[in-house]
Amino acid sequence: MNKEVTGFSKLSKEEKINWIADRYFSNPKESISILKQYWNSDESLQMLHDDFIENTISNFYLPFGIAPNFLINGNYYSVPMAIEESSVVAAASKSAKFWAARGGFKTTILGTEKIGQVHFLYHGKSEKLEKFFSETKPKFFSNTESLTKNMQKRGGGILDIKLKNKTAELENYYQLHATFETKDSMGANFINSCLEQFAKTLKEEALLYNNFTEDEKDITVIMSILSNFVPNCVVRAEVSCKVEDLAEKHIQNPREFAEKFIQAVKIAEIEPYRAVTHNKGIMNGIDAVVLATGNDFRAVEAGIHAYASRKGTYSSLSHAKIENDIFSFWMEIPLALGTVGGLTSLHPLVKIALEILQKPSAQELMQIVAATGLAQNFAALRSLTTTGIQDGHMKMHINNILNQFQANITERNKVKMHFENHTITHAAVVEYIEKLRN
């Protein structure tokens, strides 16, 4: 039976691997070899990766691909994507080319406001707390000047601070609800530092406030933390063209296609079971670019899915319509991204990704990411309403099956030739490989 380990973090990388090998690997020599195979041969680069997180024993690689031909607001982009799922990059590329011939993507920044909160308990009359906050509010700004000075030089800083009474939902619970502009940085560290100073000022000033009783002076700060829900840090991405201009190889009847496409979107608007998968397709594109550019895809995911539920039920992020014979497809999504700070200045591939994108500002990156998500959604809905999703997906997935069976060049060519005229399923590919080998 495995025992609890103490001091694991103090072990060297080799010692960590050996400890794991002794307890978990059925073939320690082979497994250790695989872990070390993914170490970077450049020792300084490997040390950099080791320091990104704790207890590093190896690197976990994802494919880093490019989706070209994105025409966004009149400028062409080749979009870097880090993702493991078959057909995502191909689908984004196909959509980008399709819409580049029809005017491209139009994107607009609707807001860049970010949010942080100090959560605290106050035992007393809310009117007295409101008066205290009104009198003390200037000090929240003045006491954070050392933190905001550089951000203000870049045009950012603290936008506003409000007191929110949440006692109807939780006894004695209040918030300092602050809004921020962080320009080209995602701003998590900046926001959290400001919030912690707000909390300190709140407690100190309450102790000095003569109108408070002793109980009222005893404010309990529960936590001070930014929010990843950013409903006012939003970008809109859209595409549109005449209905007749939708015609292409797989769209022989553009009017019928457009109407069916719109119905598919409407289903996702009213049916949460469909909306989750619909929005997951959008996130295929968004996450891949967010990850490639060194941003926090977990924060982006959480914020976007919360936004999809903001009206009380989970719904589609994208929308479509026909008006005056014009087909339009669009979405508005919250995206808190950065192009400076964090991994953007540390990870070599992140630097490359941002260079490929022509060193965008945070607002430009928001627009590129949103366009990629919309492109991915269009590709999925086009497949679903025409040929079906599995046709294109399985054509890309066939490489994974061939790799799984370590197929040689001759086998690969024969398998791909055979399935040009046969339905691709995992079982069918496996059966054909076995037939070739027998």
CB burial of 107-135 (b: ≥16 within 10 Å; e: otherwise) equals bebeebbbbbbbbbebebeeeebeebbee
Residues 304-330 as b/e (b if ≥16 CB within 10 A, e otherwise) read bbbbbeeeeebbbbbbbeeeeeebebb
Token pair listed for 85: 């799922």
What's 332-350 look like in SS3?
Answer: EEECCCCCECHHHHCCHHH
In 209-319, alpha helices (H): 214-217, 254-270, 272-292, 297-308
Eight-class DSSP state of 184: T
| Selected catalytic residue, list 16, 183, 278, 393 | 393
Instruction: Give the closest residue to 17 by CA, choosing from 49, 56, 61, 59.
Output: 56
d(CA 305, CA 317): 9
Task: Give the C-alpha separation, 368 to 353, whole Å.
Answer: 12
Annotated catalytic residue 296: yes
Distance CA(279)–CA(156), nearest Å, equals: 32
Cα–Cα distance for residue pair 300/130, rounded to 1 Å: 34
CB of 332 within 8 A of CB of 376? no
The residue annotated as part of the active site, out of 266, 280, 351, 414, is 280
**Pairing of the two strands 326-334 and 234-242:** antiparallel
Q: Which of 13, 49, 85, 106 is catalytic?
A: 85
Cα–Cα distance, 66 to 68 (Å, whole number): 6
Residue 85 annotated among the catalytic residues of the structure: yes
Catalytic residue among 181, 296, 364, 397: 296
Question: Is residue 97 annotated as part of the catalytic site, yes or no?
Answer: no
Annotation marks residue 355 as catalytic: no
| Cα distance between residue 104 and residue 98, in whole Å | 8
- Active-site residue list: 85, 280, 296, 393
